[in-house]
Amino acid sequence: MKLNSLLSILADQEVHSGESLARELGVSRTAIWKQVRKAMSEGYAIETIRGQGYRLSGRVDLLDRQVILRQLEDNLASQIDLEILGETDSTNAEVARRLARGQSRIPVILADCQTAGRGRRGRNWSSPKGQNLYLSLGLPIKGDFTSLDGLSLVLGVAAAEALESIGKASIKLKWPNDLFAEGRKCSGILVEIQGELQQGYVQVIAGIGINVHMQQADEVDQPWTSLDLAWPGITWIRNSLAAAIIEAILKAVSTFEEEGFEPFRELWQARDLFRGKTVAAREGQLKGVGAGVDSQGNYLLEVDGSQVAVRAGDISLRVKP
């Protein structure tokens, strides 16, 4: 039993009996007691409550592979090859390296921190240690490059639904797939394509960064928030977030492969940050009122009574000052 497995269970700061911990982790109560002592010697504040069990006082939020796998449905857990790294340059880059080596299951990489986290449009993604979620999946998508229309929006819907299912929070989406909490960006998704078309599949790398506990980030040049800052009343646990996101993405991708973007269109539009607002696109050249997305996932602007589609990659929507 790894110390992190025990700490991950105690992270909810509830009282857990030695018996229930032993059962959950498949070890003896003595082994639990030894691990509790080890944790205390490493500085974790664990109270022993007579006749009841153990409680961790103070916040700890460790990533743990087994805890995440246990929260996934069996048929999904068996599809993925999940690995947690203490540090990497970028989880997207790490997935790309795994794919280049060739592997049969879907590589899923989580890191406690990234030294070269990348965002969309060549930006950096702030990735301090232990605070946020940095997660990438190597997804083989059936079809050719044209089958990818709308995929990046689908991933945004999946991530929003996952967060909402855990926290009863309400997430907005800024086209194409930035997640907003209480009016500020809390998460971004980077979709990259690896290599050429292979045997009817496009190899997509989907990387999601979620600001979970972050309280300060001087280097971020746009208004941002974290889940803790936006909703302090909710206990956000990175393992639960990771499991919910992995599950939501795998299920959404499977629906997307069968049915395309259409089943997700309304789900996306219901969270549209810009709906009905005056916005500018194409470096300010085009101004209009946000009107949702079309069947390919392009953003629609109402301009002088007609709708103009704004395509992926060439615009940045901004609320007009």
Q: Which residues are annotated as a binding site for biotin?
A: 90-92, 114, 118-120, 185
In this structure, is the dihedral angle defined by the CA atoms of residues 294, 296, 301 and 306, taken in order, positive or negative?
negative
Which is nearer to ligand BTN, 49 or 193 (by Cβ)? Answer: 193
Active site residue 318: yes
Q: Which of residues 237-266 bind ligand BTN (CB under 6 A)?
A: none
Residues touching ligand BTN: how many (CB under 6 A)? 20
Label residue 43 left, alpha or beta by phi (over 0 means left) and psi (-120 to 50 means alpha).
left
- Within 10 Å of residue 27's Cβ, how many Cβ atoms? 16
The candidate with the shortest Cα–Cα distance to 46, out of 21, 8, 13, is: 13
Q: Quote the DSSP letter at residue 89.
A: S
Q: Is 120 a catalytic residue?
A: yes
Residues in the chain: 321
Helical (H) or strand (E) element with 74 = helix 74-77
Which one of the listed residues 98, 185, 238, 265 is annotated catalytic?
185
3-state SS assignment for residue 315: coil
Q: Which of 62, 137, 186, 189 binds ligand BTN (CB under 6 A)?
A: 189
Strand partners, 289: 278, 302
Tokens of 236: 């956000």
Give yes or no for residue 188 binding ligand BTN (CB under 6 A). yes
Stretch that binds ligand BTN, among 100-108, 203-211, 237-245, 277-285 (CB under 6 A): 203-211
Q: Which is nearer to ligand BTN, 169 or 186 (CB)?
A: 186
Alpha-carbon gap, residue 77 to 59, rounded angstroms: 28
Tokens of 263: 């089943």
- Does 208 interact with ligand BTN (rule: CB under 6 A)? yes
Q: Which residues contact 316 (CB under 8 A, 6 or more apart)?
A: 121, 281, 283
Question: Nearer Cβ to ligand BTN, position 8 or 136?
Answer: 136
Smallest separation (angstroms) from ligand BTN to the CB of 137: 10
Binding-site sequence positions: 90-92, 114, 118-120, 185
Q: What is the DSSP string of 165-208?
A: HHH---EEEETTTEEEETTEEEEEEEEEEEEEEETTEEEEEEEE
Residues ≥6 apart with Cβ < 8 Å to 307? 291, 300, 301
- Please report whether residue 107 would count as binding ligand BTN according to CB under 6 A: no
**Residue 152 binds to ligand BTN (criterion: CB under 6 A):** no
Q: Does residue number 184 form part of the binding site for ligand BTN (CB under 6 A)?
A: no
Per rule CB under 6 A, is residue 118 in the interface with ligand BTN?
Answer: yes
**Does 181 participate in binding ligand BTN (rule CB under 6 A)?**
no
At position 279, the amino acid (one-letter code) is V
Closest CB 171 distance from ligand BTN, rounded Å:
14
| Span 45-104, contacts to ligand BTN by CB under 6 A | 90-92
**Phi and psi at residue 159, to the nearest 5°:** -65, -40
**Nearer to ligand BTN among residue 8 and residue 114 (C-beta):** 114
* One residue of 64, 178, 247, 272 binding ligand BTN per CB under 6 A: 178
- Residue facing ligand BTN at closest CB distance: 188
Least distance to ligand BTN from the beta carbon of 138, Å?
A: 12
Residues 6+ apart with CB under 8 A from 23: none
Near ligand BTN by CB under 6 A: residue from 119, 128, 130, 143:
119
List residues with catalytic annotation.
Answer: 120, 185, 318
- The site for ligand BTN (CB under 6 A) is made up of 90-92, 114, 117-120, 123, 125, 134-136, 178, 188-190, 207-209
